[in-house]
Copies of this chain bind each other. A is one copy, B any other.
Amino acid sequence: MERLKAKIEAEGKVLSSSVLKVDSFLNHQVDPHLMMDIGKEFASRFKDAGITKILTIESSGIAPSVMTGLHLNVPVVFARKKKSLTLTEDLITSSVYSFTKQETNEISVSKKFLQNNDTVLIIDDFLANGQAAEGLVEIVKKANAAVAGLGIVIEKGFQDGGKLLREAGIRIESLAIIESLENGEVTFRNKELEEVTR
Contacts and interface: CB of A to CB of B under 8 A. Distances in A.
A135 to B, nearest CB: 16
Nearest to A80: B28
A21 B63 CA distance: 22
Interface stretch (A84-92, A146-154, A163-171, A177-185): A84-92
A66 B69 contact: no
A76 interface: yes
B15 A69 contact: no
A100 B76 contact: no
Contacts of A80: 28, 59
**Copies of this protein, total:** 2
A67 interface: yes
Interface string A17-36: 00101011101111111011
A21 to B, nearest CB: 5
Nearest to A109: B28
A160 interface: no
- Greatest chain B CB density within 10 A among A24, A25, A84 is at A84
Interface string A93-130: 00000001110000001100100000000000000000
A23 B86 contact: yes
A113 B29 contact: yes
A36 B68 CA distance: 12
A53 to B, nearest CB: 8
B110 A33 contact: no
Contacts of A82: 101
Contacts of A88: 15
Given A59-B62, A63-B66, A78-B59, A87 B32 contact: no
Given A29-B110, A58-B59, 15 more contacts: A23-B87, A23-B110, A28-B77, A28-B78, A28-B87, A29-B77, A30-B62, A30-B66, A30-B75, A30-B77, A31-B75, A32-B75, A59-B62, A63-B66, A82-B101
